[in-house]
Every structure is written in structure tokens, then in C-alpha cells.
């Protein structure tokens, strides 16, 4: 930031809150804390906005949107529009992506400035339960909020060289469309990049150790995504374990434990993200940790009373919006308010691939183990019956999971743009709505939200545009 306050200016003061890390979790804590009248120092070694803004959510969704534009150009004929895809100008795509990031970055810098937060640029270290040190200067706080985030993980013996074997940071910075890629890991990052590169014309093969893509989702959603990816020509090996990678003249040969060898220009490693906590002084300050994650209670307080922690650093869902929620909750608690602990099941989850996968609440399996299989009811509303989805030529479904005679406890969706439908789904889950509550609401026609309404009509025993 241009008007970064020098380390010297902040020295000597005791802040109400020293926030260590300026990503989604940290900057949300800082902004909310300042709004509540706390004096706040925010320490960041790179750029405020962190992974989400610079290396995660925002740039990948820009690439996914460029992919959607490419698919639309390629498929114009299906709608009677004469378009052809002449090609992908990756420099142009990257300019567009960087334009989005830089506008948001400017806006965020302005917000931090306008709230009177002391922004400290530099690499910090926790040096006591109440202080972070940056370039020899101690920033003392009544409270410290750890928010140093996460980094891409690799596997033992697998070296990410950034050229042929890359992680998501390298993938975002790529200046060309690869001809072929093997994606190791069929989770959220793996499926989103597979989708992007396929839209841009690459040959893509996913290798996933578990029996399904996006395995944390309801099995029906995984199966639907697999069907859609197969139709799009994205190859995948499920239940396949990686055994090694060799470099070849053309790129890499990825070896699987079953003896198969997959040749490609690049290998993207997307096997999860791990906490960024090593060497930052956490253990020395007495903070309880588990495999690098900082452990917290239901309101993000660590075992050290002056230290809280939020975001990817703690073992909750690694999502930017979870970081926002945790940061806000901690700031409110430190300001003397009494915020509710977060119900993590009620956090919406979206994979922004083509098609999108979105969900909130429990999967059918999760509900069965919580309530007992005979206490769970489900309904699947096929997007084939939804006018707007037919107009968009997308297929998929809305699946509801309900506790028998009780509220809706899970909503799972697959299809184009269903990420936007999760807003209504999260109200239904979090307000513990019954199917009949939602069935009585009239949904606008023709929209995809109608599919949410129709699924509830069906579950309430009065289906309109579906059999049952």
C-alpha cells in the first residue's frame, strides 16, 4: 500500500487488536474491529486481500468466466447464433483477470485506510502472547488475532518445480493454454482448473484417490458432475493413487499405483492446502496446535487467552467467506459483544466449475448418520423440468434432504449458475424451514430459483412440474 504507515509510527502504542495476516479472515477482523472503535494494527507481508483476492477465489473465478465465454462462443450454433471460437489469447485473459483483481485490491486498500487501521507491511513473528514483531519493532496488543492462512500442499517426494509440476499459484500465472494437463486431486481446486483448461481447449485428466470427484459433496452431486465432465471430454481416474512423476521431452509422465502412465505437458498438484504456521512463533507462545493448524474453541479463541485465530489457519472449512465470518465474530467478541458461534454446516459451499456444484447443510449420508437412515427423506428435482435451465441448456438437479417430519437439513444442487441459488438455500437451512414453508412462497417464473421452489413443493407432497 502506498500510504503504509511506517513500522516506527506504530511503535510504542498498545493496540486493542493486532491482526497477524491480511487475508479474508484477518482483514475482516481488522475492518470490523475498527468499525467497533477498537484500535487495530494489521500486519501483512505481501498484499492485503491474501489468497482469496490475489491467488484464489477472485482470479480463478475470472478464469472460469473467461472459460464460460469460450464455451458460449463454441456452442453458439446450438442457439442459432453463428459464432466460432477463434482462440484463447491468454495475455488478454490475464489482463482481464488482473484488472478485476486490481480494482478490488484498490477498493480494499481504501477501506483499510478509511477505517483508520495501522497497516504494517512486513514479515511478522509472534514474539509473546500479546505482540507481533516486524523488522525489529514490536506491535503490542491487548489481543492478537492469528490469520496467516494456508499454502498449497504437496505429497512426500513430489517436488513442485513451478514449470512442469505446478500448484494453483503457478496455474493462475500461466501465460499459455497447455495442450494437456494431468490434475492430481479431484477436489474443488482440481475440478475448477480442469473446467477452465477444458473450456480453453486443453486435454485434461484428473487423478483422484477417493471414489468420487468433489468427494465432500453429496454423492448424487459428485455423480452428476462426473457425468457432466465426461460429456465435456474431461477424463478422470477415480480411486487412483499417484505413485510418481517423471519428466519427459514433452512434459511429464504421471505414474499411478495401478501401473498406468499418463503423459501431459503439465501436472497440477491440487491435493489440498495446509496451514501457514511454521516458524512464526506460535508454539513458542504456547499456542496449542495440531499438524500445523492452530486449535480454537467455538468462538475462535485459542488456549492462550489473549490469542484468537481465524481463517485457513484453523481446522474449519477453508473458505474465504468462513474467514470473513470468523474474523467478524472475533472482532465482535473482543469489542465486548456476544456473537454466536458459527454453525459450519450452515455455510454455503460452491464449486464454480461448468457445471457448478453448490450445497448447504448435511449430505444424505451425513443426515442418515445424524438422525438414522429411516429418519431421513429426500427429493430430487431434475432441472429438465425447469424452464430457465432448459433455456440455458443446462442439466442438473436440486436435491433436498429433510429430517422426517422436520425441517430441511441439506440442499444440494448441480447445474449452470446454481452457485447463485445457494443464497436461498442457506436461508432455508439456517432458518430451519419446513418444506411447506418454502412451498408456500411463489418463485419468479421463469428462473432457476423456481427449481428450489418446485423441489420443496414435491417434498411437501404437492409437486407441480414433476412426477411424484
Contact footprint for ligand NAI (CB under 6 A):
155, 184-190, 192, 207-210, 215, 241-242, 270-273, 318-319, 350-352
C-alpha angle 226/97/84, rounded to 5°? 65
- Cβ(29)–Cβ(327) below 8 Å: yes
CA dist 28 and 362 (Å) reads 27
Q: How far is the CB of 418 from ligand NAI (least distance, A)?
A: 13
Q: How far is the CB of 137 from ligand NAI (least distance, A)?
A: 33
**Nearest alpha-carbon partner for 197 in 272, 264, 273:** 264
* Nearest CB to ligand NAI, comparing residues 60 and 109: 60
Distance (Å) of CA 254 to CA 46, 163, 247, 251: 34, 15, 9, 10
Distance (Å) of CA 101 to CA 55, 62, 121, 403, 420: 10, 9, 19, 42, 21
Residue 340, burial from CB neighbour count under 10 angstroms (0-12, 13-18, 19+): exposed
Cell of 26: 484477518
Q: How far is the CB of 212 from ligand NAI (least distance, A)?
A: 8
Cell of 444: 419468479
**Nearest alpha-carbon partner for 31 in 142, 111, 97:** 111
Eight-state DSSP code of residue 366: H
Q: Which residue is nearest to ligand NAI (CB)?
A: 187
**Nearest alpha-carbon partner for 331 in 89, 131, 147:** 147
Q: What are phi and psi of 316, to 5 degrees?
A: -110, 180
CA dist 131 and 139 (Å) reads 5
First-to-last C-alpha distance (Å) of the chain: 59
CA dist 424 and 254 (Å) reads 42
CA dist 309 and 329 (Å) reads 11
Q: How far is the CB of 293 from ligand NAI (least distance, A)?
A: 12
CA dist 263 and 267 (Å) reads 9
* Nearest CB to ligand NAI, comparing residues 144 and 213: 213
Q: How far is the CB of 407 from ligand NAI (least distance, A)?
A: 25
Q: How far is the CB of 143 from ligand NAI (least distance, A)?
A: 27
Q: What are phi and psi of 379, to 5 degrees?
A: -145, 145
- Cβ(305)–Cβ(334) below 8 Å: no
**Nearest alpha-carbon partner for 380 in 443, 462, 468, 303:** 468
CA dihedral sign of residues 378, 384, 387, 388: positive
- Cβ(309)–Cβ(10) below 8 Å: no
- Cβ(388)–Cβ(443) below 8 Å: no
Write the CB contacts of 177 (distance below 8 Å, at least 6 apart in sequence): 88, 90, 197, 200, 201, 202
Catalytic residues: 445
Amino acid at each position: 500500500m502506498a500510504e503504509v504507515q511506517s513500522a516506527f509510527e506504530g511503535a510504542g502504542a498498545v493496540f486493542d487488536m493486532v491482526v497477524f495476516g491480511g487475508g479474508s479472515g484477518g482483514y475482516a477482523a481488522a475492518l470490523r474491529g475498527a468499525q467497533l472503535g477498537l484500535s487495530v494494527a494489521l500486519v501483512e507481508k505481501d498484499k492485503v486481500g491474501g489468497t482469496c483476492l490475489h491467488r484464489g477465489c477472485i482470479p480463478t473465478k475470472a478464469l472460469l468466466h473467461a472459460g464460460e465465454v469460450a464455451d458460449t462462443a463454441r456452442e453458439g450454433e446450438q442457439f442459432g447464433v453463428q459464432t466460432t471460437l477463434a482462440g484463447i489469447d491468454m495475455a488478454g485473459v490475464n489482463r482481464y483477470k488482473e484488472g478485476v483483481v486490481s480494482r478490488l485490491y484498490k477498493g480494499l486498500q481504501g477501506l483499510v485506510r478509511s477505517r483508520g487501521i495501522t497497516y504494517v507491511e512486513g514479515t511478522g513473528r509472534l514474539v509473546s502472547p500479546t505482540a507481533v514483531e516486524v523488522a525489529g519493532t514490536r506491535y503490542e496488543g491487548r489481543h492478537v488475532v492469528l490469520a496467516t492462512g494456508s499454502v498449497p500442499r504437496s505429497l512426500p517426494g513430489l517436488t513442485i518445480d513451478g514449470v512442469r509440476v505446478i500448484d494453483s499459484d503457478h496455474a493462475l500465472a500461466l501465460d499459455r493454454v497447455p495442450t494437456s494437463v494431468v490434475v492430481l486431486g479431484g477436489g474443488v481446486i482440481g475440478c475448477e482448473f480442469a473446467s477452465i483448461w477444458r473450456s480453453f481447449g486443453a486435454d485434461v485428466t484428473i487423478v483422484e484417490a477417493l471414489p468420487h470427484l468433489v468427494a465432500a459433496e453429496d454423492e448424487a452431486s459428485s455423480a452428476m458432475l462426473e457425468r457432466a465432465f465426461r460429456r465435456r471430454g474431461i477424463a478422470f481416474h477415480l480411486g487412483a493413487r499417484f505413485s510418481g512423476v517423471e519428466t519427459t521431452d514433452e512434459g511429464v509422465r504421471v505414474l499411478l499405483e495401478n501401473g498406468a502412465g499418463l503423459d501431459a505437458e503439465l501436472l497440477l498438484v491440487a491435493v489440498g492446502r495446509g496451514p501457514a504456521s511454521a516458524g512464526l512463533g506460535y508454539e513458542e507462545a504456547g499456542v496449542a496446535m495440531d499438524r500445523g493448524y492452530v486449535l480454537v474453541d467455538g468462538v475462535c479463541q485459542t488456549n492462550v487467552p489473549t490469542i484468537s485465530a481465524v481463517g485457513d489457519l484453523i481446522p474449519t472449512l477453508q473458505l474465504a467467506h468462513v474467514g470473513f465470518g470468523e474474523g467478524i465474530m472475533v472482532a465482535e467478541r473482543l469489542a465486548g459483544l456476544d456473537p454466536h458461534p458459527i454453525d459450519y454446516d450452515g455455510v454455503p459451499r460452491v464449486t464454480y466449475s461448468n457445471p457448478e456444484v453448490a450445497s448447504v447443510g448435511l449430505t444424505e449420508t451425513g443426515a442418515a448418520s445424524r438422525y438414522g437412515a429411516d429418519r431421513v427423506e429426500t427429493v430430487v428435482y431434475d432441472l429438465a423440468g425447469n424452464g430457465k435451465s432448459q433455456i440455458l441448456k443446462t442439466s442438473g438437479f436440486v436435491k433436498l434432504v429433510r429430517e422426517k417430519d422436520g425441517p430441511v437439513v441439506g440442499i444440494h444442487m448441480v447445474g449452470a449458475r446454481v452457485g447463485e441459488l445457494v443464497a436461498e438455500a442457506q436461508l432455508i437451512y439456517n432458518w430451519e424451514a419446513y418444506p411447506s414453508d418454502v412451498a408456500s412462497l411463489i418463485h419468479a417464473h421463469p428462473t432457476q430459483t423456481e427449481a428450489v421452489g418446485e423441489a420443496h413443493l414435491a417434498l411437501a407432497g404437492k409437486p407441480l412440474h414433476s412426477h411424484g
